[in-house]
Structure 1
Amino acid sequence: MKRNINIFEFPLNLGLTKKDHETEPGVRKLPDWLRKFDFHSRINPTNVYRLEAPAYSMDFDGASRVRNADQIIEYAEKQAEFILQNYEEDAFNIILGGDCSILIGNAIALKNLGNFGLFYLDGHTDFIPPELSETGGAAGMDLAIITGTGHEKLTNIHGLKPYFSEENIFCCGNAETDDEEYVSQIVNSGIHYFDLYRLRENGFRKTAEDFLEMVSNKCLDGFFIHLDVDILKDEIMPAVDSRTEDGISYDDLREMLDPLLQNFSCFGIEITILDPDYDENGTYTRPFADHLIQIIKK
């Protein structure tokens, strides 16, 4: 990659509901945790930017039926403004979460910059309305929120609904395929949907190339990548909020990311959900950082 690289740190964990044994979800520690494995120094970014997140809470917002909705909205607004103030036009941006709800602020920023595509890599669809959510956590609804499903206060910040158009999104890697009502939400949308099994069938590189062809044919202003690490096989990445046994390998990830990251229309990639509290010795984080750096720096 022959582009300047900037790192943005958004250590937000308000989109997750804490488990009984937790004080708060540990995903907010991810940027500092990756730094311990020399992620930042090996990436050698031009700049590192950080926006501190509010303290964790479990507030339930009755209007939107989403936990911490008001705090998430406030942070998303600040996050979008922060990106727009600091991004460089030709730079590649690595955005470190945090949980998946950081996508909302990123999406608002990109909507301000034009009409973007989204390559969504996740072990879940995150595409359900609040009434189907068991937890009320925005991190499990972020793809729905950014495309306009859910309460207006989250989906239509600054009148920008939708932040991404459904037809400009590839959602890849869902391993939660047994729940028919859950899956039907995305199947009946305009999103290009590749569950884990269809992704394998279509081919990892080909799926990425199909996405790039769509971006080109539609003359989009660029595209963004969402990488929730729970798309990886549980044996190589169990340090996540919601584990699934099946998933992709690092070779599969490389096959998809290589053509995407070599394309200068790529605004950047966000990395979410890796929880240092579930990987105290870095057994899973170290190889993750190594593989990602190799892919990005190729």
Structure 2
Amino acid sequence: MAEPNIVVLDAPSNLGLSPPEDGTVPGCYKLPWAVRDRNLLELIDAADAGSLVPPRYRANWEPGDGDRNAESIANYSVTLADRLTETIQSERQIVVLGGDCSILIGNMLALKRRGRYGLVYLDAHSDFRHPGHAKAIGAAGGESLVIVTGRGDVRLVGLEDHGPYVRDEDVSVVGVRENDEYIDELTEIGINTTTSQQMNALSSSQLADQVLRTVARNTTGFWIHLDVDVVDAREMPAVDCPEEDGPSFNDIAELLARLLSSPACIGLEVTIYDPDLDPNGECADRIVECLRKAFRNNADN
């Protein structure tokens, strides 16, 4: 029997988010359980690389502290990078199931160890809050793009002296909403950005070609960050900050299929879905179907 071409690794960290309310913790760490229970691995014909258990979540934080759980995130990121480095050696595409967006740090660190890699950032938010313009930083999940490009909490931006983990010119942000408060800064510093509204004017092939020109032209390969809040809130309400006026799951599946078909694509991470906000599991079903379509269509390309 042929070895699967895909391998799935769980990184169920919620360290990069603020508590949803006093006395609770963010539920996105349950994401891998929810999608595995819907037979994701079988549906995409993937091998199982196990799970990397995160440190304890601590909610204590005061303005001026920097990012909540920063030391734990730093340690977890290095360990995740080690696990991803081992998995990359298999030459199979990788799916990392989060968790919050701070898992991007470890994944991009693993790639930076190997050379120059690009990043497709599928997200409703720019995640570009940083000390240069914000009164306080506090949640690494909402600052993940700024951290991997070298502008965030000093405890996270230069792990192993490898920061920044990706160059501005090798990043393509897709799906960010036009009212995002940091979108003008992305444009000013030269990060390629396609808003959710601009996506409507492009076919999936046109958008994929545009993205690939940015993330694969001068790099060894690229990684995909998929924060499911990029999807319109009508289809994906089970996230901490749902946003309207976004693409559909079908739109995302078509784009992913084209990106995954590139030989330069190392894999992707899936983040932010919170099963606590999805009691009937409808959103989990939609995530699994999106990934099934993406990998099925990738195989057909």
Task: Please tell me the residue identity of whatever aligns with 1:259.
Answer: R
Q: How does 1:1-298 map to 2 (within 5 A)?
A: 4-20=5-21, 23-60=24-61, 65-130=66-131, 132=134, 136-175=138-177, 177-178=178-179, 180=181, 182-218=182-218, 220-298=219-297
Secondary structure, aligned partner of 1:23:
coil
Choose 209-218 or 75-84, whichever is displaced more: 209-218
Deviations 1:247-285 (A, max 9, x none): 111221123112111112110010000000011111221
Q: Which letter maps to 2:92?
A: A
**Which SS does the other structure have where 1:60 is aligned?**
coil
CA spacing shift, 1:20–1:11, aligned 2, 3 Å: same
Q: CA deviation at 1:135?
A: 6.6
Supply the distance in 1 between the matched residues of 2:135 and 2:8 (Cα, whole angstroms).
32
Structure 1 stretches of at least 4 aligned residues deviating more than 4 Å after TM superposition: 61-64
2:192, 2:214 within 8 Å by CA — same for their partners in 1? no
Gaps of 5+ in 2: none
Identity of paired residues, percent?
Answer: 35
Comparing 138-147 with 192-201, greater Cα deviation is found at 192-201
Query: Which residue type is aligned with residue 190 of structure 1?
Result: G
Q: Quote the offset at 1:200 in angstroms.
A: 2.2
Q: Measure how far apart 1:34 and its partner are.
A: 0.9
TM-score (norm 2): 0.91
TM-score (norm 1): 0.92
Distance change >3 Å, CA 83–CA 64, structure 1 → 2: farther
- Structure 1 residue 41 displacement after superposition: 2.5
Alpha-carbon distance in 1 for matches of 2:224, 2:155: 25
Q: Structure 1 210/179 Cα, relative in aligned 2: closer, same or farther at 3 Å?
A: closer
Q: Any conservation in 1 of the 2:13–2:98 contact (CA below 8 Å)?
A: yes
Instruction: Kindly state the Cα deviation for residue 36 of structure 1 after the two structures are TM-superposed.
Output: 1.3
Distance in 2 of aligned mates of 1:216 and 1:283: 34
User: In the superposition, relative to structure 1, how do residues 132 and 249 fare at CA in structure 2: closer, same or farther (>3 Å)?
Assistant: same
The question of whether the paired residues in 2 share the 8 Å contact of 1:64 and 1:151 is answered with no
Assess if the C-alpha contact under 8 Å between 1:61 and 1:69 holds in 2.
Answer: no
- Contact persistence 2:66–2:136 (CA under 8 A): no
Deviation at 1:205, TM superposition (A): 2.8
1-side partners of 2:60 and 2:266: how far apart? 33
Take 1:233 and 1:133, find their aligned partners in 2: how far apart are those partners? 30
Partner Cα separation in structure 1 for residue 265 and residue 288 of structure 2: 20
Cα offset for 1:227? 0.4
Distance (whole Å) between structure 1 residues aligned to residue 23 and residue 248 of structure 2? 29
1:22/1:7 CA distance change after superposition, 3 Å: farther
1:127 deviates by: 1.3
Flag the 1:167–1:32 CA change in 2: closer, same or farther, 3 A.
Answer: same
> For residues 39-83 of structure 1, what are the alpha-carbon distances to aligned partners after superposition, in whole Å with 9 as ceiling and x for unaligned?
122223223221001121124387761111111001001111111
Q: Indicate the SS of the match to 1:95.
A: strand
> What is the CA deviation profile of residues 125-162 of structure 1, one whole-angstrom value per residue up to 9, with x for unaligned ones?
11120452777110110000000112332111111111
